[in-house]
Amino acid sequence: MDETIFFNPGDAIATEYDFAAARRSAEIFKVAHASDKGLVVAKDDHGQFAVFYEGGTSTGDGAVPATKYTILAHL
């Protein structure tokens, strides 16, 4: 079962059109920036992959509408 969640695209740590590149960016970011939060690699309906902090979901109340993503990896 896919895990679908909403994020604000402006909150993305990195965006790529290649899953491997997005995951590599997430791993590099995680090493360079110590944080208690995990990271997720997610894909939107347009085929773009993005990296977000886990638990940083959007409620859709902001100026930028939340976008639906499917989570592919938890780091």
Q: Give the tens place of pLDDT for each residue, 54-72.
A: 876 555 555 667 899 999 9
- The pTM score is 0.81
**Among candidate residues 57, 58, 48, 55, the one with its CA nearest the CA of residue 74:** 55
Q: How far apart are CA 26 and CA 40, in angstroms?
A: 8
What is the percent of the chain with per-residue pLDDT over 90, rounded to a whole number?
A: 55
How distant, in Å, are the alpha carbons of 7, 32, 63, 68 from that of 71? 11, 22, 23, 10
**Tokens describing residue 74:** 């938890």
Query: What stretches in the chain show pLDDT beneath 50?
Result: none
Return all residues near 17 (Cβ < 8 A) that are at least 6 apart. 47, 48, 49
Residue 36: its pLDDT value, please? 79
- Average pLDDT over the chain reads 86
Residues 6+ away with beta carbon under 8 Å from 33: none
